[in-house]
Amino acid sequence: MIRGRTETVLLVWLVATVVTVALTPAVAAATAPDTPVLDTSTTPSTTASLSSSLGSPAETPQTAVHVAREGDTLRYTVTVETAGADALWLYVDPDVTVVETDGVQALDGHRVPTYRATGETTRIVVERELPRAPRTTTGAEYLATDDWALGPVPYLRVTWQTDGHTETTAPFEDGRITTEDPAAVGEKFLLYGDHEIYSRTANGQTFHLVAPAGTGLDAPAVLDTYASVSARLAVGDRDTAVRVFALPPPARGGGEAFIRSDEAWVNAGSPMDSANNVWIHEYVHTRQEFRLTGEMAWFTEASAEYYAARLAYEEGHISQAEYEAYVSRPGFEGAALGDRDTWASQRVPYVAGVRTLAELDERIRDSSGGERSLDDVFRMMNEHEGEVSYEEFTTFVARAAGEDHSAWLDERVQAGDGSNTPFPFDGPVDSPARALSDAIYAGRGVLPGVLALAGLAAGPLLFGYRRRE
């Protein structure tokens, strides 16, 4: 999200732009492309369910991707050996330009560009031109400079049939990737050019901080913060790897995250001693596993922004006064959080939403005698099957608090009658629930399990330094 001095609208078109693949008749399933998704996404992940096996696995075609930079354009050359498959299709990201094909036939009538293999070896070359200036509209941020380029990892799926069995693979995840020059390849972002990778493992998570060479990043300070807030934020969804690309100018202020991929970029100059803490904000997004109904969509940004300030305070990066001033700042008192039509600005979740969560957190702490907090609600949301509705949210709040707060919540989420007013702090801001929440979390056996996986965290990821062999 764009934060700080420059601000822009949230990405409200996301859900609408998830493309339904117009399937080739013989193909049972293919996932929609992961349209570049800003940190405002409530879009379900499409990365985890690639396989469409209808029986025993067929022999896997060999796939390879080679990436090269030409001017401000990244060129991705994809080759697929069809391995005797009876039929094979390639689904290509609509946001890249196909400039060359070999051994494939383009099929018409598909919203996702679709190609059918006609030979044993197929090749598709796609390109993406990157801008020199930060974008001023919504959409994932990509940039080219003389020294480095941040580009996308394009959506690409290969589906094949052998003896009636259908399988799908993702060459950027399962294939061999080479690059002409040094590059760091994540799930969604590809940093092309000389770079540094700083890594730290804590609480079952490995944090990878990637920056173009010469960025002048205080990486240990960022990793210290991630290692610490990872433990403090006891809300579940501690996935094993988090990747953050730290970008120097001309990257704009702020950052953005791909929630399902636990991947983000952050402006490398973002201050750590700020309530408007972009480093923590984007990290909180990576802990958001929940899916939300429309009337709860505000919670995605509100919770990232609230916890960024809260954790910055608990980490000692900001004072209590700074924390209180930030989370109770005025604005948008007439907005109903659950009704976007009442919003005067896309900033409503960052201001009125944060205010609501700050007060709600205090209410839960007070109601529960300091034993529960908003963390518990967040965790229940993460663990919930299916979308979290507003009604379910109020149920989770009641469960955490031990008493019903829905009348108060209704005024802020549904009424839009001006009652969403600044929160008057009337006592010390404490954080007694953290240790208990962590204890509960560990006691449930989740944390030890995650810790046990720590050593495996970075292994299977397509990430790191690759050069042409």
Site for Zn ion, rule CB under 5 A: 1, 39, 301, 304
d(CA 244, CA 189): 10
What is the per-residue burial (b if ≥16 Cβ within 10 Å, else e) of 219-237? beebbebbebbbbbbbbbb
148 vs 326 by CB, closer to Zn ion? 326
- Closest approach, Cβ 284 to Zn ion, in A, equals 8
7 vs 180 by CB, closer to Zn ion:
7
Q: State the Cα–Cα distance between residues 348 and 352, nearest whole angstrom.
A: 5
Q: How far is the CB of 290 from Zn ion (least distance, A)?
A: 14
295/301 with CB nearer Zn ion: 301
Taking the least distance from each CB to Zn ion, the nearer of 34 and 301 is 301
Angle at Cα 389 formed by Cα 385 and Cα 394, nearest 5°?
Answer: 105
CB nearer to Zn ion: pick between 187 and 301: 301
Q: CB of residue 161 vs Zn ion: minimum separation in angstroms?
A: 41
Residue 279 φ/ψ region, left for φ over 0, alpha for ψ in the -120 to 50 degree band, beta for the rest: alpha
Residue 39 or 167 having the CB closest to Zn ion: 39
Surface-to-core class of residue 133, CB atoms within 10 Å of its CB (0-12 exposed, 13-18 middle, 19+ buried): exposed
What is the smallest separation between the CB atom of 251 and Zn ion, expressed in angstroms?
16
Least distance to Zn ion, CB of residue 40, Å: 6
Both structure tokens of 6: 């420059």
DSSP state of 342: G
> Which residue stretches of 195-297 are H helix?
219-232, 278-286
Give the Cβ contact number of residue 269 at 10 Å: 15
E strands, 86-219, are 87-92, 97-102, 104-107, 114-117, 121-129, 143-144, 149-152, 156-162, 165-169, 176-179, 183-185, 189-192, 195-202, 205-212
218 Cβ contact partners less than 8 Å away, ≥ 6 residues apart: none
Least separation, in Å, of the C-beta of 200 and Zn ion? 23
Q: Provide the phi-psi class of 396: left if phi over 0, else alpha when psi is between -120 and 50, else beta.
A: alpha
Least gap, CB of 288 to Zn ion (angstroms): 9
Instruction: Give me the least distance between CB of 257 and Zn ion, in Å please.
Output: 6
Closest separation between CB of residue 329 and Zn ion, Å?
Answer: 17
* Closer residue to Zn ion, CB minimum distance, 294 or 464: 294
* Residue 367 Cα distances to 353, 423, 433, angstroms: 21, 17, 12
| 88 vs 304 by CB, closer to Zn ion | 304
Nearer to Zn ion, 171 or 255 (CB): 255
Helix (H, G, I), strand (E, B) or coil at 171: helix
Nearest distance from C-beta of residue 281 to Zn ion, angstroms: 6
The CA distances from residue 28 to 45, 50, 62, in Å, are 19, 12, 21
- Name which of 1 and 140 has its Cβ closer to Zn ion: 1
Could you tell me if 238 and 283 are in contact, meaning their C-beta atoms sit under 8 angstroms apart?
no
Residue with tokens 């960022």: 222
